[in-house]
Structure 1
Amino acid sequence: MYKFISSILYWILVKKCKSLNVYGKENVPQLHRYVVTCNHESYNEVIMLGMALYPNQIHYMAKKELFNNKLFGNFLKSLNAFPVDRENPGPSTIKTPVNLLKKNKTIGMFPAGHRTTEETPLKRGAATIAMLAKVPIVPAAYVGPDKIIGLVTGKAHIKFGEPIDTANLPDHLKKRNEKVDYITQEVTKRTRALQQELNQLK
């Protein structure tokens, strides 16, 4: 289902309406085995991040409440989304994305954890998962419409930054928590810098 729907959206939004500008695509690894992160202010980031990486398929983490309705939950699963219990994260919270990454799949995460326009410190999940899977994190930023209709009538911008190598970190970082904190801070810093760069380009 993901391939079918993303192909339709790509034709409409990118080819027909030319609603997306993508910058820094050269920073995206050739292998699909990476975590891509992005700021999260609306559902449009989910759609446009998928368009920016098309035809590669992104596997998104989504809050478990979205899967309460069995029909809608099955639809989300067909779009490569998988449920996460944010209140009581268990081993599967880490295990599922790590296993997907080991199968050469791309994990999409919005580390702020919820849709917000506030300066929220990015949560540690992306760093933990990328470290365990020994894959890079590709930071991305979105600037553009926050309403769905804006994807057709407006212009969205996504910029990818240089990958963060989670396997080769500064020597002074010895403990796992220190490494996770360092990576998380790097993702936060680079995401904000990418947003600022996009705001200057608009």
Structure 2
Amino acid sequence: MYKFISSILYWLLVKKCKSLKVHGKKNVPQLHRYVVTCNHESYNEVIMLGMALYPNQIHYMAKKELFNNKFFGSFLKSLNAFPVDRENPGPSTIKTPVNLLKKNKTIGMFPAGHRTTEETPLKRGAATIAMLAKVPIVPAAYVGPDKIMGLITGKAHIKFGEPIDTANLPEHLKKRNEKVDYITQEVTKRTRELQKELNELL
């Protein structure tokens, strides 16, 4: 289902409407084993991040409440989404994405954890998962419409930054928590820098 729907959206939004401009695509690794992160102000980032990396398929973490409805939950799973209990995260919260990464899949995460226009400290999940799987994090930023119809009538921009190497960290970082905090701070910093660079371009 992901391939079918993403192909239609790519034709409509990118080819026909030319609604997306991608910057920094050279920073995206050729191998699909990476975590891509992005700011999250609406559902449009989910769609356009997928378009920016098309035809590569992204596996998104989504809050478990979205899967409460059996049919909608099945639909989300067909789009490569998998449920996460954000209030009481268990072992599967980490195990599922790490296993996907080991199978050469891409994990998409919005570390702020919820849709917001406010600046919030990015949560530690992306750093933890990438470090355990020994894969890079590719930071991205989205600037553009926040309404679905705006994707057809407006212009969206996504910029990818240089990958963050989670395997080779500064030597003074000894403890796991120190490493996770460092990576999380790097993701936060680079995401804000990318947003600023995009806003200056527009």
TM-score between the two structures when normalised by the length of structure 1: 1.00
Structure 1 position 43, deviation (Å): 0.1
Q: How do 1:74-85 residues align onto structure 2 when only pairs under 5 Å count?
A: 74-85=74-85
Structure 1 position 4, deviation (Å): 0.1
Deviations 1:47-73 (A, max 9, x none): 000000000000000000000000000
In the aligned structure 2, how far is the partner of 1:2 from the partner of 1:201? 32
Which residue is equivalent to 2:169? 169
Structure 1 runs of 4+ with >6 Å offset: none
- Is 1:147 aligned to residue 181 of structure 2? no
Which residue is equivalent to 1:18? 18
Gaps (5+ residues) in structure 1? none
Structure 1 position 9, deviation (Å): 0.1
Could you say what the CA RMSD is over the residues aligned between the two structures, in angstroms?
0.2
SS in 2 for 1:171: coil
In the aligned structure 2, how far is the partner of 1:108 from the partner of 1:183? 16
Deviations 1:3-30 (A, max 9, x none): 0000000000000000000000000000
Deviations 1:87-136 (A, max 9, x none): 00000000000000000000000000000000100000000000000000
| Count of residues in correspondence between the two structures | 202
In the aligned structure 2, how far is the partner of 1:149 from the partner of 1:108? 23
Gaps (5+ residues) in structure 2? none
Structure 1 position 162, deviation (Å): 0.2
Structure 1 position 148, deviation (Å): 0.2
TM-score between the two structures when normalised by the length of structure 2: 1.00
Which residue is equivalent to 2:7? 7
Structure 1 position 145, deviation (Å): 0.1
In the aligned structure 2, how far is the partner of 1:24 from the partner of 1:161? 6
Deviations 1:138-197 (A, max 9, x none): 000000000000000000000000000000000000000000000000000000000000
In the aligned structure 2, how far is the partner of 1:149 from the partner of 1:71? 25
In the aligned structure 2, how far is the partner of 1:66 from the partner of 1:127? 24
Structure 1 position 85, deviation (Å): 0.1
In the aligned structure 2, how far is the partner of 1:89 from the partner of 1:21? 35
In the aligned structure 2, how far is the partner of 1:62 from the partner of 1:26? 27
Name the % identity. Answer: 94
In the aligned structure 2, how far is the partner of 1:135 from the partner of 1:177? 17
In the aligned structure 1, how far is the partner of 2:49 from the partner of 2:64? 21
SS in 1 for 2:36: strand
